[in-house]
Amino acid sequence: MIAQWMVYVIVVSVGFTVAAMAAERALRLWGRQARGVWCVAMVLSIVVPVASIAQAAGLFPRLGISGALPRAFASSVGVVLPAVVIGGEMSPLDIGIAGGWILLSAALALRFVALARSIARRRAAWRAATVDGQEILISRDAGPAVVGFRSPTVVVPDWVMGLDGELRALVLRHEREHLDHGDPRMLATALTAVVCVPWNPALWLQLARLRSAMELDCDARVLRAHPDARAYGSLLLTVAARGDRGGLLAPAFIASSSLLGRRIAAMRRAAPRHRAATTVALSLAAVALAAVACDLRSPNEPTLPPGPVFVTPDKAMFEFQVERPATVARGSSAPRYPDPLRVAGVEGEVLAQFVVNADGTVDVSTFKVLQSTHDLFTQSVRSALGNMRYQPAMVGDRAVRQLVQAPFTFSVTK
């Protein structure tokens, strides 16, 4: 079931990716900043599938378009990964997939930690300087870039100091824009998301597009202050030819080889005809795709009717669907403490799942053990359920069948 859920996550993420592409294009038509679009896409690509896990666990009814986003954010706190995805029981295939997931995440996390330590070692050899009133680091060959996530700093190579004063100011302005707008921390957060879900190719694409959007947004801000696009474009080509291609802001394997071309093209692009109509079409497409992605049904999600709860006598309701859940009736019998375990002083607990009928009896055929500390305790609970009586669950003035999860505790009286 983990594999099915992973496919669902990828499909949802693809929907948000395409929606973000449309939204970014609409914003670019008007010269607007677009990195936030990719931040939202990455957040939704994680939060909405996590919300489906909470839904499968019965924390709230199926997400619909109208309530998807607030419920998704509310349910994202405190939900854990593989075991919860499949509802607690794992097949050998599920265990293998979950193990691979954990190992891949750990390997990727170690890769980024090693990169950060490498940068820290190189940083120790750089010298601090004040250039054009700005505190920076000067290296032999690293940069231009912003390094560090906790205390980010601009680093430039020695050759930048030999540039004409105006070009040097452009280099520093570009890196300062990254610093002032929190790009290093935003990128660190995005990398953390990818580390958590490394098998999702759509999330990797979103990370690459976020990095691209950061550069395009930064270029636009610099050009508003220094409108000479020809000089700035030449400077970008020079930096690309002589700069540190690893970028130090992120590992080279997530940097797009076509990013420089996109940046140059963006500086030359004129406003298209019918810009307003194109913007409306792109915006509607983005909203529609995002809504569809939010409303996709997880394969682990229980099938519930949309809108109001419709009560049918042949189906059991979840606790969140009923107005008054089933409770043990006063005077009902209880499981008997197994004599061998009582004599030995062994205590324990059984967490069982079963259906309580509309007449208060237990449908023993639905009995399922979720957790048990001893087989004899399990047998005692199974034997007792047929004689136990419950106050049935109610929806309005009608008794209904309910799926119940109940703990049975066995404690030796001192």
**Burial zone of 327 (CB within 10 Å; 0-12 exposed, 13-18 middle, 19+ buried):** middle
In angstroms, the CA 399 to CA 361 distance is 12
Say what the pLDDT of residue 299 is. 60
Question: Structural domains in the chain?
Answer: 2-118+182-295 (no CATH), 319-410 (3.30.2420.10)
Confidence of residue 243 (pLDDT cuts 50, 70, 90): low
SS3 readout for the chain: CHHHHHHHHHHHHHHHHHHHHHHHHHHHHCCCCCHHHHHHHHHHHHHHHHHHHHHHCCCCCCCCCCCHHHHHHHHCCCCCCHHHHCCCCCCHHHHHHHHHHHHHHHHHHHHHHHHHHHHHHHHCCCEEEEECCEEEEEECCCCCEEECCCCCEEEEEHHHHCCCHHHHHHHHHHHHHHHHCCHHHHHHHHHHHHHHCCCCHHHHHHHHHHHHHHHHHHHHHHHHHCCCHHHHHHHHHHHHHHCCCCCCCCCHHHCCCCHHHHHHHHHHCCCCCCHHHHHHHHHHHHHHHHHHHHHCCCCCCCCCCCCCCCCCCCCCECHHHCCECCEECCCCCCCCCCHHHHHHCCCEEEEEEEEECCCCCEEEEEEEEEEECCHHHHHHHHHHHCCCCEECEEECCEEECEEEEEEEEECCCC
What tens digit of pLDDT does each residue of 197-239 get? Answer: 999 999 999 999 999 999 999 999 999 988 888 888 888 888 8
CB of 362 closer than 8 Å to CB of 388: yes
HSE, side-chain direction, 13 A CA sphere, residue 169: 9
- CB count within 10 Å of CB 410 equals 21
Higher confidence at residue 375 or residue 82? Answer: 375
What tens digit of pLDDT does each residue of 124-175 get? Answer: 899 999 998 889 999 988 888 888 877 889 999 999 998 888 899 999 999 9
Please, which residues bridge with residue 403 across strands?
355
CB of 4 closer than 8 Å to CB of 299: yes
Give residue 134's identity as a one-letter amino acid code.
Q
Residue 279 pLDDT > 80: yes
Say what the pLDDT of residue 90 is. 59
CB of 392 closer than 8 Å to CB of 399: yes
Q: What is the mean pLDDT of residues 294-307?
A: 56
Give residue 110's identity as a one-letter amino acid code.
L
pTM beyond 0.85: no
Tell me which residue of 241, 240, 218, 123 sits closest to 170, measured CA to CA. 218
> What value does the mean pLDDT of the chain take?
82
What tens digit of pLDDT does each residue of 47-62 get? Answer: 988 887 666 554 444 4
In angstroms, the CA 14 to CA 256 distance is 19
Higher confidence at residue 102 or residue 308? Answer: 102
Tell me which residue of 281, 25, 243 sits closest to 142, measured CA to CA. 243
Q: Which residue has the tokens 């990818």?
A: 194
In angstroms, the CA 97 to CA 164 distance is 56
Residue 367 pLDDT > 60: yes
